Amino acid sequence: MKPTFQMQLVNGPWGDPALYVRIRWARRALLFDLGSLTCLPAGELLRVSDVFVSHTHLDHFVGFDHLLRTVLGRDRTLNLYGPPGIIDNVDGKLRGYTWNLVQGYPLCVEVVEVDLDTMRGAHFACAEAFQRREMPPRPFTGDLFVEPGFHVRASHLDHQVPCLAFGVEEPFHINIDKERLARLQLPVGPWLADLKAQIRAGTADDTRIDVRWPGGRTKTFSHQGHPGPEARLRDRCTLLS
């Protein structure tokens, strides 16, 4: 069974803390803590959509500048989550540079500060020279965000400064029974990624997915509701003519 998450300690167990987590089916990555990131290729850093900072001691936060330099100029939003004070920390780093030549850059940085029962945020747009704009607060009940397929939770710790611990949880894991595929005469292919995405999103049972064989032959099937994490393809798919 292939895991959904591939984890890499960027600097090994004794270097600056930074955990790089690839999400196999999403071509996307999460980053936990921002120690030195110079050994990560730019292509890996460009996959990072969300960053989770436990606290802002130097060895946990020094990589922010390198990450920003890598994604600068990209049309995307980089999301950061951290303990109380993280918005001021990011604002201070951004204020340390001159931004008079970036008016056409579409990058945005959104920072969420997690207090005991509240999350408040700030938006920094590169095109506005990263001017700080406050975002409305919202309740914090343990989840930082919930997406189809996984969610990220946080808990508060004491490290003589405000500090967060994070957990990534997968409500259920989808595994494909390749022997059943062969008995149904279904090919392995990109359509399986589409099927998994539909199941994770909780789409209707009659959603149609095209299956293309080598040579161009195509069939369409609908997935059936998934009863639980132990379900396999035979429980979820019905071939249609």
Catalytic positions, please? 59
Query: How does DSSP assign 169-186, residue by residue?
Result: E-S------HHHHHHTT-
Q: By C-alpha distance, which of 134, 140, 89 is closest to 116? A: 140
Tokens at residue 87, please? Answer: 């918005």
Contact 25, 149 (CB under 8 A): yes
DSSP label at residue 65: H
Contact 113, 87 (CB under 8 A): yes
In whole angstroms, what separates CA 164 from the centre of its chain?
Answer: 18
Helix/strand/coil for 143: strand
Q: By C-alpha distance, which of 114, 107, 62 is closest to 86? A: 114
Q: By C-alpha distance, which of 43, 4, 36 is closest to 18? A: 36
- Residues whose CB falls within 8 Å of the CB of residue 28, separated by 6 or more in sequence, listed in order: 22, 47, 49
